[in-house]
Amino acid sequence: MVDYIMQFAHSTNAQFSEQEKNTAIQSLESGKVVLFPNMPFAIADDENFILSSKTLDTKSKNVSFNMLNQQLKGTNYEFAQRAKLSAFMQRFALSAQTLIENLLPQYTAHLQIGRTSFRPAEIKGRQSSYRKDDTRLHVDAFVSSPVQNTRILRVFCNVNPHQIPRVWHLGEPFANVADKFLPQATKYNAIIAKFLQMTKITKSYRTGYDHYMLQLHDKMKKDMDYQNNVEKIRFDFMPGSTWVVFTDQVSHAALSGQYLLEQTFYLPVDAMQQPELSPLKKLEEMVGDYLV
């Protein structure tokens, strides 16, 4: 477990010692999960209706909330229920932001807040294409939303009211993943990337880094021999636990669980304490060129 998880005993996101801050940033940037097994997110009595699979509409796999424009998607709730759901997700977004600012103050000035999501549906047994199957080991990369020169930092919290864990597999280090799958990747084509941007298939320009990360993501998920035989551990994130992880670096899969909150942040690689540990720098080293 030492190679995968760094645990802290804190039950609130308020104060951390300098040593704890240093340990947390070193652990995250080296590819570990930082876990707070006893840091729950409070749910008010009048919010308990949210803890239902009915919160999710039939076309979505999660409810999403955008802090920047206050837009809520993925639910059929209206009026008072919709307002309460929005407030619930905004409160989690702010709580997650406070945690990152207090735990990782070096990141604060550079952090960009992304989407907040709530996953009220059981992930086990959900039917999808292999690319969208998050029960398979993968590193995160986005098809339509290039990250360019930023990292994907995520805060998760299991709010399951029935003492059911969120079960993950954690796989091998990113360097091993890249060594195995990058040689199989198709070559980056800047002309195609420009076309994707012009036709709005992507929301912004897909860099070489975005391209190769998508290749790793897809090839990992498609290779069932790899999925079945690669070294990995199972970890149960119990209700009331909160965890932080660079999901573009840590090979992970969500096997089962229901009622999960998630907050995404984006961090420029140059804002890391050790940028040389980033997936971007590893891929640039392997390709022999700058990718952003």
User: 41-50: string of b/e by CB count within 10 Å (b at 16+)?
Assistant: bebeeeeeeb
How is residue 259 written in tokens?
Answer: 């009622």
> What's the mean per-residue pLDDT of the chain?
96
Q: Is the pLDDT of residue 138 over 90?
A: yes
**CA atoms of 241 and 7, how far apart (whole Å):** 11
For helices 279-287 and 208-222, angle between their N-to-C axes, nearest 10 degrees: 100
Class for the domain spanning 5-287: mainly beta
Assess contact for 55 and 43: CB atoms under 8 A. no
Query: Residue 90 above 50 pLDDT?
Result: yes
The 10s digit of each residue's pLDDT in 150-200 is 999 999 999 999 999 999 999 999 999 999 999 999 999 999 999 999 999
Q: How far apart are CA 138 and CA 68, in angstroms?
A: 28
- pLDDT-derived band at 264, boundaries 50, 70, 90: very high
3-class secondary structure, 234: strand
Distance from C-alpha of 191 to C-alpha of 195, rounded to nearest angstrom: 6
Q: How far apart are CA 230 and CA 71, in angstroms?
A: 40
Q: Give residue 161's pLDDT.
A: 95
Would you tell me the crossing angle of helices 279-287 and 174-181 to the nearest 10 degrees?
30
Q: Domain residues of the chain, as ranges?
A: 5-287
Is 80 exceeded by the pLDDT of residue 2? no
As a 3-state breakdown, the chain gives helix, strand, coil percent values, each rounded to 5, of 40, 20, 40
3-state secondary structure 177-210: HHHHHHHHCCCCCHHHHHHHHHCCCCCCCCCHHH
As a whole-number percent, the residues of the chain with pLDDT over 90 amount to: 94
Select from 3, 91, 7, 4 the least CA-distant residue to 47.
Answer: 91
Flag the least confident range among 21-35, 109-123, 126-140, 219-233: 126-140
What whole-number percentage of the chain has pLDDT above 70? 99
* 126 — pLDDT class (breaks 50, 70, 90): confident
Residue 1 — very low, low, confident or very high, per pLDDT cuts 50/70/90?
very low
pLDDT at 274: 98
